[in-house]
Amino acid sequence: MKKLLLIGMLLLCAVNVFARDVTVSVTAGENWKGTHAPQFAIWLEDTEGNYITTLYVTEKASKKSWIFCPKEGRPESLPVWYHASKQDVRKGKEAQKANARLQLDTVTGATPAAGVSFSQRITDAPCVIKAEFNVSFDYNDVYTKDNSNDNGQPSVVYEAKIDGTLDAPIALAFSGTGSLAGSDGEIHTDTQGLVTALSIVRSVTVRTDR
């Protein structure tokens, strides 16, 4: 029994040694307060592109509680995050049960009124933080009701590599868009036609808590 207790304490110490507390801050942009609230997810991947964990996700995106959506769900809403975390995007209990392994309840929240700032413990190893944002029905002359379904303009993705100590806040850089139809999890670099999608957020930063 004593040996098991000692092993448990050593494992707990190892977790604390190889982890750090960070604060992620999202500053709302001009298109944050539109007709529809933005949906977004912020997560970590290792430097090889493998999903580690989700740090924050809005409730509709997490629980797939879309209004008037087909049973296939809304994979186009946050396609990069959905594919990275290997989620079942369909509506219904079967999909929810399959996604229970992700344990998203503790990092799920309603869309904040004007940006959000939260703290999380993350790995101390080099990793990549990604953030994906989308506003439904965000149509313009390029992304119309006829060619972009419910999405309008596609999701936008920001990312930054976290390597070593964060002596100053790191700003996530815009890296591209998600698939317009949600058919893949790639980040697409063709940004032609993006207008209001680029002003959902003003900035996304991450810093070490001290």
Q: What is the pTM of this model?
A: 0.89
Predicted local distance difference test score (pLDDT) of residue 65? 80
| pLDDT digit string, tens, across residues 77-123 | 999 999 999 998 887 777 778 788 888 988 999 888 889 999 999 98
| pLDDT digit string, tens, across residues 156-191 | 999 999 987 677 899 999 999 999 999 999 999 988
Would you say the C-alpha torsion 36, 62, 40, 179 has a positive or negative sign? negative
